[in-house]
Structure formats: C-alpha cells, structure tokens
A and B are shown apart, each in its own frame.
Chain A
Amino acid sequence: MAGNILEPGNAREYKTGGWRAERPKHNPEDCLWIKNGTCALCCIFCPDNAIKLSEKDGKFLYAYDYDYCKGCGICANECPKSCITMEAE
C-alpha cells in the first residue's frame, strides 16, 4: 500500500549502476591505497559505497562495484594523485 517498503535494508536490491553514463577507470601506479594502504579518499567520498578496498596476503586490492556505481565522478575529483579518470560507457 502507498509504496510502503515493509522490509528494512533493501536499498541493495535497487541496482543503480544502470544510471551510469561514465565509468571510473583506476590507474594503480600512483594510488596510495595500492602503495601502502592509506588515503582511501575515493572510498570515503563515494556516495554509493561502490569502491571496494581490501587487503589480502599483505597486498592492497582495489575494485569498483559496477552494480551500484552511478558514474558520478566524485572519486575522480577527490583523488589527490589523479589516478581515476572517467571514461564514457
């Protein structure tokens, strides 16, 4: 009724990646996260929590979740090392 959503925590089911006109491309060369696991500004500023930073066997890994990345470009704007560029889909 009235569009009410009766279960909490379901924003995950709404995949907004389809809105994307530009996709972020990550260049790991100068990335501080890859280098020493610091900075992470892109991840902090991402409004959709679509940047997945992880650590495995002492290595720092970087990935985008394109199911939710809307291509807003905030990550590219925030990156102090300019390692993120936006490319047309």
Chain B
Amino acid sequence: MAATVKMTKPKGSIEGLTGDAAIAYALKQCDIDVLSAYPITPQTIIVEDYQRFFAEGQVKTKVIPVESEHSAMSACIGASAAGARVATASASAGLALMWEVLYCASGMRQPIVLAVANRALSAPINIHNDWSDSYGARDSGFIQMYCQSCQEAYDTTIMSFRIAENHNVLLPAMVCIDGFILSHNVERVELLPDEVVRDFVGVRVPVQPLDTDKPITMGPLCLTDYYFEFKEQEDKAMREVFKVYKDVEAEFQKVTGRSYGMYETYKTKDADIIMLTHSSPAGTAKAVVDALREQGEKVGVLRMKLFRPFPAAELAKELSSAKAVAVFEKCLSFGAPTNPLALEVRTALYDLPKKPMVTDFVVGLGGRDVPPATIVEGYNKTKQYLEKGKAPLYETLGVRK
C-alpha cells in the first residue's frame, strides 16, 4: 500500500509527507479555484502533486500551466481579481522572475497564497537552500511566514488563506519552507479531515471583484495625486496582520490543538544568550540549547515565524532580558551594514534602554549544512564578544576563508 504517495488513506489520517506534499495536500483541501505555476526545484512537487489531484478528478480547480513564473503570478492575479481563491508556488530564480508581478499582487490587494521552497539564487547555479530569494522579496507587500516542520507547512498553508483573505488585510502571503531540508524530507504530518479544513477556510468573499455586470477598472494609472495614499493603505493593511494572524491561529488551535505564534520561544525565560533564527536552523538550535543547558549554559532559542510583518514590539519585549542575541541567518546582503534578519532585530531593540548585544552569523548559503557545531561556534563567539563588550556587525560561519 503506497498510501503515503497516493494519499488515499481515510480522511483525517496521519501521513509521512514531504514539506512540498504537505503544502499540496493543504491546497487541495482549501478548495482553491485556480492554481497557476511553473515548475522549479525544490518547489516542483507541490505543483506535481496538485496536477495529479487535478488529473485524478480530486479537485475542481482550474490548473493553468504557463511558460514562466512571470506569467504564473500574472494569471493568479487575473483569477484572484475575478474573486477566485488562488495559489501558486515558486523558488529562487522563479521567484526572481516573478518579482515585478509580486508588487502587482500586493498593490492590487489580491490575497494569493504563494508557497516558496527557499533556494539560493544564481550564479553560480545552486538548487539548495538559503533565504536569499524570499528575503529579497521582503518589501514586496507579501506576508511572509517561515515554517520549521512539514506539519507547520501544512497548517500554515491552511491558515494563510484566512489571513490573506481577511477584509482588514487583503494581501498576498508567502508560506516558506527550507528547500530540500523541508521540501523533500518526509515527516509525520497529521492531516485534518477535508470537511474540517473546508469549514475552517470557508469561501472567499471578494471585496471588489471583476464583474461583467458591474465593470470596474483595476490597476489603473495612479500618479503623484493618489499613489502614495494607496501605499499608505497597504502599509496599514500589513499592520493589521498581527491581530488577524492571532485570531486565525486561535481559531485554528481550537480546531486542531496546534498553534505556532508569530514566533516561538524555547527556554528563553532565564537565558543570557538567545539564539534567534527561523526555519530549519531553529530545530538544530533547539537541540544545541538542550545540550548546552546540560552543561549549565543559560541559553535559549527564539524561532521567528512571521517575518512580514515583523513583530518588532513583541520581540523587543521577549529579548530585553537577554545579555546577547545571536542571529543565525541564511542570507548575505552584499554591502549592507548587516544582514536582513539581524538588521530588523537590531532595529527592534534600538529603543530599549538596556539593549542586548546583537551578533549576526551568516550560515548555510547555497545549502551548506548548518550542523550543531556551527550553532555552537556562533554561541561561543557571542559569549566571547560579551566578555569583550564588542562584536562585529556580522560574520560568516562554516565557510572556507
């Protein structure tokens, strides 16, 4: 019985699924109207699985194959503008080709769900994981949620429609998983029965859809007179996400017993040093914390989930009691004073009367393994810097120099 592959087990079952398959299954249960995507490793399984659901008649979705990611997002916007519930998936160079249209999706306030299997950008060409792709799109007006497990990828995909489609939000959302590390690794995933997901996500209620009986114009020219106001509205909508995210998650928890929060704290209460990261390195960091705690080290992990919008106020509160925050991130922002995640963490902490020291370690570019030893190295360095009272703005770990 190849039940894990065919997914024909009874409803509400427990399966061994890859991150990609978990997202594909969630999309299937969310009863999306249109899916338009272009294949790119390591996202491909999402669309492959979904195409199979479609071929087998398990979904009523209109699947639109296109010739590029630019077209994929464009088709998604058109469908979403007509009031459909829409999803797509991409990664790396595909996401980069989508770039222009990402801003159209958010600017036109279309609640499209985009699953991203984070992958390094060319050149040199590399199919493995880092966060350069979606970090680059952090200003595109998409909500960004980073998942640590296949279960979380499944759950987050379901929740993302409710968050994105909320009338106080109406913004597209990225559900990000680490390429290969999550996208291709099989984990235990508890699937909800179809009708539970259907009831939870409901039917999308579009605000200003395209309607031949009541024609409207979308995305028209808007110059010095009003453009700024629409960006102001977009920013306001993004800030609404905090509340909506909490509400949706609270409801999801009632149904499933599972919740993740905008971020997760692990043994941070009395920690002198808090390691801050997200996605797969967070799991490794938690294991490192367990080991270091046994040696008497006061250390914890704060695992970010929501990166856009960035929960700065809550983070500042959470980190204020630590002596240092060690950031581990899989992105290098060439020429920047420091890298995206640490930059935002530093900004969040800037107004604290007593600021923790922030160290920034760039790790795992192009899928370079981030073993516990790398995390420990960052921790030890942070300890040394604390003693010296001075730390570099950032440094790379696990690389030949």
Contact = CB atoms under 8 A, between A and B. Distances in A.
B334 interface: no
Contact of B108 (A2, A5, A7, A8): A2
Interface size class of B (residues with CB under 8 A): 10 to 19
A2 B230 contact: yes
B259 to A, nearest CB: 30
A7 B214 CA distance: 8
A1 B170 contact: yes
A3 interface: yes
A2 B226 CA distance: 10
A8 B215 contact: yes
Contacts of B336: none
A4 interface: yes
B150 to A, nearest CB: 34
Interface string B220-232: 1010001100100
B217 A1 contact: no
B219 A6 contact: no
A2 B219 contact: yes
B68 interface: no
Nearest to B167: A1
Interface in B94-123: 107-109
Interface in B212-261: 215-220, 222, 226-227, 230, 233
B219 A3 contact: yes
A1 B234 CA distance: 9
A70 to B, nearest CB: 14
A48 to B, nearest CB: 15
Interface residues of A, number: 8
Contacts of B207: 1
Contact of A1 (B208, B215, B220, B227): B208
Overall SS of chain A's interface: loop
B217 A5 contact: yes
Contacts of A7: 216
Contacts of A4: 208, 216-218, 220
B226 A6 contact: no
Contacts of A6: 208, 216
Contacts of A5: 216-217, 220
A24 B364 CA distance: 65
Contacts of B109: 1-2
A3 to B, nearest CB: 4
B334 to A, nearest CB: 33
24 contacts: A1-B109, A1-B170, A1-B230, A2-B107, A2-B208, A2-B219, A2-B230, A3-B107, A3-B220, A3-B226, A3-B227, A3-B230, A4-B208, A4-B217, A4-B218, A4-B220, A5-B216, A5-B217, A5-B220, A6-B208, A6-B216, A7-B216, A8-B216, A8-B217
Interface of B: 107-109, 170, 207-208, 215-220, 222, 226-227, 230, 233
